[in-house]
Amino acid sequence: MCVQYLTTVNIDWVKAHFDLDLPTSSTHDVFPTYPGTIILKSHNTQRTAIGPARFGLIPSWAKDEDFGRKTYNARSETVSQKPSYKQAWSQRHFALALADTFYEPCYESGRAVRTKIQQANREPMAIASIWDTWTEPETGELIVSFSMLTINANHHPLMNRCHHPEDEKRTVVPLRPELFNDWLNATPDTAKSLLSLDAIPEFIFSD
């Protein structure tokens, strides 16, 4: 489960892969409720956009924004049924969260060690996510928020080394570049097929 990551600052990589300009952000180290940069696509206008969104999905029916403190990761196996996520999923609110690295606890030493994970090629990652909008009741402010999808990682050679030995092994799903557009254009059915270990590039533990 990803509770901390570094949003990318690689302007050239974003421009090369999405032909979009990375917005300036004062936040690099992202935790639940913090803003992170995401890319999404409008299926009405076919326009792709980039901008900040709150880490931790707030469904439209939530009573307050604190709801997002517990919805930063969505299990791929149940995302289409869970009340928090099913509307975003059915409406094809698929997004890519841009990250330079993410962190997981590794217990190989017998205790939890905060471990930095990057792509082997050191390039940024675009993590499969879903997004939704929520209206702040008092101000009317429209807040965009997102959750990263996770899959079982029991058979991943690196990610199965993370988390407590008794816990299920999970990983977020940074997609290979050739799958970026497939995710943004996915339907609920095709999105499921992209949430697999085969879609993930090679990871490394990094200093």
- What is the pLDDT confidence band of residue 206, given thresholds at 50, 70 and 90? confident
Query: Higher-confidence residue: 27 or 119?
Result: 119
Q: For residue 191, what pLDDT is reported? A: 97
Enumerate residues 6+ apart whose C-beta is below 8 A from 185: 41
Residue 5 has pLDDT above 90, yes or no: yes
pTM for the whole thing? 0.96
pLDDT at 27 over 90: no
pLDDT of residue 119: 96
- Locate the domains of the chain by residue range: 5-206
pLDDT score recorded for residue 111: 85
Average pLDDT, the chain: 95
CA distance 140 to 29: 28
| Domain range 5-206, its CATH number among 3.40.50.300, 3.90.1680.10, 3.40.50.920, 3.40.50.1000 | 3.90.1680.10
| The pLDDT of residue 79 is above 80 | yes
* pLDDT over 80 at 168, yes or no: yes
Confidence check: pLDDT of 207 > 80? no
The residue with greater pLDDT, 114 or 173, is: 173
State the alpha helices, DSSP H only, in the chain.
Answer: 11-18, 86-90, 180-184, 188-194
